[in-house]
Amino acid sequence: MEMIIRSCIKKRAAVFSVGAFGDRWYKIAQANNVPADHFKSEPGEPTTPEMVEQALKTGKYDVVTVTHNETSAGLMNPVHEIGQIIQNYPDVVYLVDSVSSLGGAKIEVDKAHIDICLSSTQKSLGVPPGLAVASVSDKAIKRAESVENRGYYLDLINVVNRVKKNYQYPSTPATPHMWALDYQLSKIIDEEGLDNRFNRHQKLADIVRAWAKEHFALFANETYASNTVTTILNTKGKSVSGLNDELGKRGFMISNGYGELKEKAFRIAHMGDRNETDLRDLLAEIEDIWGLKQ
Ligand SMILES: *Cc1c(COP(=O)(O)O)cnc(C)c1O
């Protein structure tokens, strides 16, 4: 995130946020002295193509950042529809954070006109943490070439040139992670099949959403509910940290609400290599601990 927001901006970034990870883009821009404006949606609501169009019409921006899957809110933004607007602005570079969705939901970067789609290995790709991956368009490279002071370790152009030249990196990469990613992509994900993998994520999301609505409520507008993680409003005022203590004794764990949503909400992940049996076992344990069974 730091590499690309720093390398792609000559004028000003329009940073769209629907939660903690969207806000992070803005904090990164500020920390790097990159001019940026912060556009926040109402809690639980997406970044809309209309919001993006309104910002771009001002002519102030040459970069848009959007979080595809906001892991704090359990919300998936309509990145393809937003791309249809951005393509009308040829000078605008479109940066998308797909950290918690790549590998769990279909993202057609070319159709969506996404210039840089970045992700990380530890979420829906199901590989240990420590590696970031990205697709980079020629347009983004051209822009970055004209930006001064891109940094040293995080200079996008230096990395792109070295990779293009001989599949090397300017500094020593985390090679064990690359082997792990290669195995996951060519064995686990290829053998499952991409469409099967996306459908499994959809199915697990449907199960958790139905369960959430039966006992609690969804945090996000359901039209935009995430297929990789569900954020559930703690409408019954239960202790989430207490739940995790009990779940831990049984070999399970969930996530508390992120930041301000701590104890007000909790999150159930259904990403990576999760299967339906695991997920149903987890829900049954929660029902047992919280006395939700009738
Ligand atoms: C996890 C995550 C990140 C990166 O988080 P780190 O733990 O700092 O590596 C960025 N964006 C999203 C949407 C995420 O879910």
| pLDDT at res. 249 | 98
pLDDT in tens, 131-174: 999 999 999 999 999 999 999 999 999 999 999 998 899 999 99
Q: Report the nearest-CA residue for atom 2 of ligand 1.
A: 99
Same domain, 220 and 147: no
Name the residue range of residue 143's domain: 2-120+132-173
The mean pLDDT of 24-53, rounded to a whole number, is: 97
User: Is the Cβ atom of 97 under 6 angstroms away from ligand 1?
Assistant: yes
| pLDDT at res. 166 | 86
User: Is the Cβ atom of 25 under 6 angstroms away from ligand 1?
Assistant: no
HEC string of 165-216 equals: HHCCCCCCCCHHHHHHHHHHHHHHHHHHCHHHHHHHHHHHHHHHHHHHHHHC
Q: Specify if 200 maps to a domain.
A: yes
User: Is the Cβ atom of 98 under 6 angstroms away from ligand 1?
Assistant: no
Same domain, 137 and 37: yes
Report residue 271's pLDDT band, with 50, 70 and 90 as the boundaries.
very high
Same domain, 163 and 222: no
Q: Specify if 187 maps to a domain.
A: no
pLDDT in tens, 92-121: 999 999 999 999 999 999 999 999 999 999
Report residue 27's pLDDT band, with 50, 70 and 90 as the boundaries.
very high
pLDDT in tens, 65-96: 999 999 999 999 999 999 999 999 999 999 99
| 294 vs 1 pLDDT, higher one | 1
User: Is the Cβ atom of 21 under 6 angstroms away from ligand 1?
Assistant: yes
pLDDT in tens, 186-202: 999 999 999 999 999 99
Report residue 253's pLDDT band, with 50, 70 and 90 as the boundaries.
very high
Pocket test for ligand 1, best of 107, 120, 127 (most atoms within 8 A of CB): 120
Please report the atom of ligand 1 found closest to the CA of residue 67. Answer: 13
Whole-number Å distance, alpha carbon 294 to ligand 1 midpoint, is 37
Please report, for the domain that includes residue 44, its CATH number: 3.40.640.10
Please report the atom of ligand 1 found closest to the CA of residue 68. Answer: 13
- pLDDT above 70 coverage of the chain, percent: 100
Same domain, 92 and 29: yes
Whole-number Å distance, alpha carbon 20 to ligand 1 midpoint, is 9
User: Is the Cβ atom of 67 under 6 angstroms away from ligand 1?
Assistant: yes
Same domain, 206 and 249: yes
User: Is the Cβ atom of 121 under 6 angstroms away from ligand 1?
Assistant: no
Q: Specify if 156 maps to a domain.
A: yes
Same domain, 108 and 214: no
Whole-number Å distance, alpha carbon 58 to ligand 1 midpoint, is 30
Q: Specify if 142 maps to a domain.
A: yes
| pLDDT at res. 293 | 83
Q: Report the nearest-CA residue for atom 4 of ligand 1.
A: 99
Q: Specify if 108 maps to a domain.
A: yes
DSSP code per residue over the chain: -HHHHHHS-SS-EEEEESSHHHHHHHHHHHHTT--EEEEEPPTT----HHHHHHHHHTT--SEEEEESEETTTTEE--HHHHHHHHTT-TT-EEEEE-TTTBTTB---TTTTT-SEEEEETTSTT---SS-EEEEE-HHHHHHHHT-S---STT-HHHHHHHHHHHS--SS---HHHHHHHHHIIIIIIHHH-HHHHHHHHHHHHHHHHHHHHHHSEESS-GGGB-SSEEEEE-TT---HHHHHHHHHHTT---EEPPGGGBTTEEEEE--TT--HHHHHHHHHHHHHHHT---
Domain total in the chain: 2
As a whole number of angstroms, the distance between CA 208 and CA 287 comes to 13
As a whole number of angstroms, the distance between CA 154 and CA 87 comes to 27
Flag whether pLDDT at 294 surpasses 80: no
User: Is the Cβ atom of 100 under 6 angstroms away from ligand 1?
Assistant: yes
